[in-house]
A and B are shown apart, each in its own frame.
Chain A
Amino acid sequence: MSDGIRLTAGRRKFLAATAAVGGLQLSSPFIIKARGDVPVKIGFIDPITGSLSALAVSEVEGAKWTVDQMNKKGGILGRPVQLLVEDSANDTGTGVQKAHKLIERDKVDVIMGDVNSGIAYAIMGVTSDKKVLHIVPGGHTDPITGKDCKWNTFRTCNTTAMDAAAVTGELVKRFGKKWFFVTPDYAYGQTLQANFVKNLEKLGGTWQGDMLPIANADFSATLIKAKAFKPDVLLNNMGGAAQINCMKQFVQFGMAKEMALGGALFEIEAIRSVPKEAQTGWWVMEWYWNQPNVPQVKEFVDAISPSIGNRKPTARHWMAYVSLQAVKLAAEKAKTLEAVKMAQALSDLELPPDVSLSPNKIKYRAGDHQLMSDIFVGQVHPPGPDGPDDLFKVEEIVTGEKAAGPAEETGCKLVWPS
């Protein structure tokens, strides 16, 4: 018995020590550093854990590098920039909580996020309520800059409508009009498939498809169904880890020889992780590192590569870069960090080539706050002569305006605070 008591005391000491160490860890972020200027705070919410983590990690890498560069060049409005990254864990409730935390506790000037469309969408509820400028670097579902658009929300990546419109014609022309969809069952997947179907049916096509959970791991039932349907093209609309799993199983089932592959997004992060046989098909890139006709792109790629493990930057790095640079441009044009004035300044502001890194002139259009970026349609292939990230051949560049159609048709009606 006495042994037991001694042991308990030992445990208590150990636990007290553990708690003390833990407490020190917790208390450190709250020390206010009273030197230099008050920083411009930018909150960045992304699903760093969960099935979309590869994409989120690229965005965060891009954001960190961009902020470092900005701080070397005098920050925003002469103030240093502080980036506060929060993990939404691919869970909407957590994302909303983190938005509250960043706005209420950290008093951030701008919120960015999230890769997951549903979370981005939910965070908009908080940012519009609190009147904080919100930039969505990489959540694609249409209503964010469509029927649910807000005066304070801007989006850098394309809408699903833009991506679908850019690639549908090419897929039909090359392979045929009988399509099978594998689609994640949440905001992004639903709007993407609806847009594909709309474009396909206009061209007289037929289709079948399966809606699956966002983090689905086993695709056998769906792929058997697809095999039986004998489509010309299989559209893999899944994202992140789920898309990779689907591709691997597609190859294992020997379906790569039976039908073409294609779809909207097959991002570099995902292409890197699939077997060679699955590195194929016609897809959309929202930005690509190899643009020989734009000299600024090479400068950007050479500058950022060393800090991201000597890989080439992906569209996700670019999205974070453009979003942060846009904040800087807006703040400097408005000469303030006030959300309404920044939002007004950013509307229709043409991005200079060293920010846009694109062949054509692009801007966040005033009608719906959607970035009219160039869309790169082309073929995915196994690593080519330019290294392990030479995975895509650009066949056609579609301008954002052409793919998106007029802003009035998106159903967006911006209501500005009086």
Chain B
Amino acid sequence: MSTAMTTGRPAGTRTYLQLGIIWALLLTVPLWLPMLGGYTAIAGRVLVFALAAMGFNMLLGFTGVMSFGHAAYFGLGAYGAGLTLKYVAASTPLAMLAGTLLGGIAGTLFGLLLVRRRGVYFAMVTIAFGQVCFYIAYKWDSFTGGYDGLRGFLRAPIDLGFTRIDIAGNETLFYFFVLFVFGLAVGLQALILASPFGRTLLAIRENERRARFLGLPVERHIWLSFSISCFFTALAGTLYALLNNFADPLGLNYIMSGNIVMITVMGGMRTFWGPLVGAVLFVMLQDYVSSMTTNWMFFVGMAFVLVVLFFPRGLMGMLQKRSAA
């Protein structure tokens, strides 16, 4: 899929093989992860960050616009879900809907203000909005729980009428639930990117001026891309709240935005599956190295520097370049 996405060639055997491997690995996580010393919650975390970064990558990798404030929509998604579960109703689907809408609509409205900015100005304004959200969550103690985060909610089992899926008590089931949502979202994103709209985004990324001369409404496309990207990232945020049973103002902070950028760039920002690879690397590094040394941030940073120096197209980008050669 990804080869087709970036080059415009029809999908070949290699693409299906790649897809097959990725999904086979994801579906069998509960079987092989414990053998490698992992645990199911960390696989959920990988998927959540991958989804957030894939949403972000739609903007950075496929439209060519840099946002440094995607944590805002991630965090709004998490708070939206948490607040719904805490104050409105113990319904997981409702919480996810509310969180996604909160983050997505905030991004859509805010996108209106920034589509005319480019480059560093675009990035600066997105940081500013992210920090505004962070300080609201931080200061509004009675409602959001302030610095200590929003507690006191639990993900609820999903009632399908004929059966009940106990994602609250069963970690493995919850992982499959996250994987299911991830699959739907990623599939939808692939459809969007393969559509004429997605092609237009690529055209804007490659040469904005030429796209404008062709009569394409560039601003509107960037705005739509930003908005869609925020919806995906907010959806990831709702899953993060369900995963931890907790929402945290640092999830809105610019550091989290930086993490999302790092994941995307490490994995490969112009490839479809790059952010997933980046999320695996980032979460594993953070989790394992921090158990071994207090200087774990140094190693995460070094990994990032190495990837940027040696594989500027990210890990996934390098693999593809190699196989294409």
Contacts and interface: CB of A to CB of B under 8 A. Distances in A.
Interface of A: 11, 15, 18, 25-27, 29-30, 48-49, 53, 84, 86-87, 89, 91-94, 96-97, 100-101, 104-105, 117-118, 121-122, 125-126, 129, 185-187, 190, 213-214
Given A87-B290, A87-B296, A96-B246, A118 B38 contact: no
24 contacts: A15-B310, A25-B292, A29-B37, A30-B36, A53-B294, A86-B290, A87-B296, A92-B148, A92-B149, A92-B250, A97-B41, A101-B287, A101-B291, A104-B41, A105-B37, A117-B148, A118-B147, A122-B151, A125-B245, A129-B245, A185-B139, A185-B147, A187-B146, A213-B147
Contact of A97 (B138, B154, B287): B287
Given A29-B291, A129-B245, A186-B148, 12 more contacts: A18-B306, A25-B292, A27-B37, A87-B296, A93-B244, A96-B246, A97-B42, A101-B291, A105-B38, A117-B148, A121-B151, A187-B147
B283 to A, nearest CB: 9
Nearest to A89: B290
A129 B245 CA distance: 10
Contacts of A186: 146-148
B148 A187 contact: yes
Contact of B306 (A15, A29, A48, A190): A15
A91 B147 CA distance: 10
Contact of A122 (B146, B148, B294): B148
Contact of A26 (B146, B251, B288): B288
A118 B146 CA distance: 10
A182 to B, nearest CB: 16
Contact of B45 (A27, A49, A97, A117): A97
Contacts of A96: 244, 246
Contacts of A129: 154, 245
A93 B250 contact: yes
Nearest to A18: B306
Nearest to B168: A129
A208 B294 CA distance: 38
Contacts of B148: 92, 117-118, 121-122, 186-187
Contacts of B251: 93
Contact of A100 (B37, B39, B248, B292): B39
Contacts of B291: 29, 84, 86-87, 101
B219 interface: no
Contacts of B154: 129
A121 B150 CA distance: 11
Nearest to B44: A100
A336 B250 CA distance: 39
Nearest to A104: B39
B40 interface: yes
B36 to A, nearest CB: 7
B297 interface: yes
Contacts of A117: 148
A93 B36 contact: no
Nearest to B148: A118
Contacts of A94: 290
Contacts of B159: none
Given A92-B148, A121-B151, A187-B148, A104 B171 contact: yes
Contact of A48 (B245, B250, B294): B294
A104 B40 contact: yes
A26 B290 CA distance: 11
Contacts of B297: 49
Contact of B39 (A53, A101, A187, A213): A101
A91 B45 CA distance: 16
Contacts of B244: 93, 96-97
Contacts of A15: 306, 310
Contacts of B246: 92-93, 96, 122, 125
A87 to B, nearest CB: 5
Nearest to A12: B310
Nearest to A88: B290
A190 B39 CA distance: 36
Contacts of A11: 310
A100 B290 CA distance: 14
B38 A92 contact: no
A122 to B, nearest CB: 6
Contacts of A27: 37
Contacts of B42: 97, 100-101
Q: Nearest 6 pairs between A and B by C-beta?
A: A118-B148, A30-B37, A105-B39, A186-B147, A104-B39, A100-B41
Contact of B294 (A87, A93, A213): A87
Contacts of A87: 290-291, 294, 296
B141 interface: yes
Nearest to A85: B291
B166 to A, nearest CB: 14
Contacts of B36: 30
B2 to A, nearest CB: 22
A50 to B, nearest CB: 10
A186 to B, nearest CB: 4
Interface in B145-184: 146-149, 151, 154, 171
Contacts of A48: 294
Nearest to A141: B148
A190 B45 CA distance: 31
A232 to B, nearest CB: 28
Interface string B52-79: 0000000000000000000000000000
Given A15-B310, A122-B151, A187-B148, A93 B37 contact: no
Contacts of A49: 294, 297
B78 to A, nearest CB: 9
A89 B250 CA distance: 12
A49 B290 CA distance: 10
Interface in B228-285: 244-246, 248, 250-251
Nearest to A126: B245
A160 to B, nearest CB: 14
Nearest to B284: A26
Interface string B200-216: 00000000000000000
A254 B150 CA distance: 40
Interface in B281-314: 287-288, 290-292, 294, 296-297, 306, 310
Given A87-B296, A93-B250, A104-B40, A125 B151 contact: yes
Contacts of A105: 34, 37-39
A184 B242 CA distance: 28
A96 B154 CA distance: 14
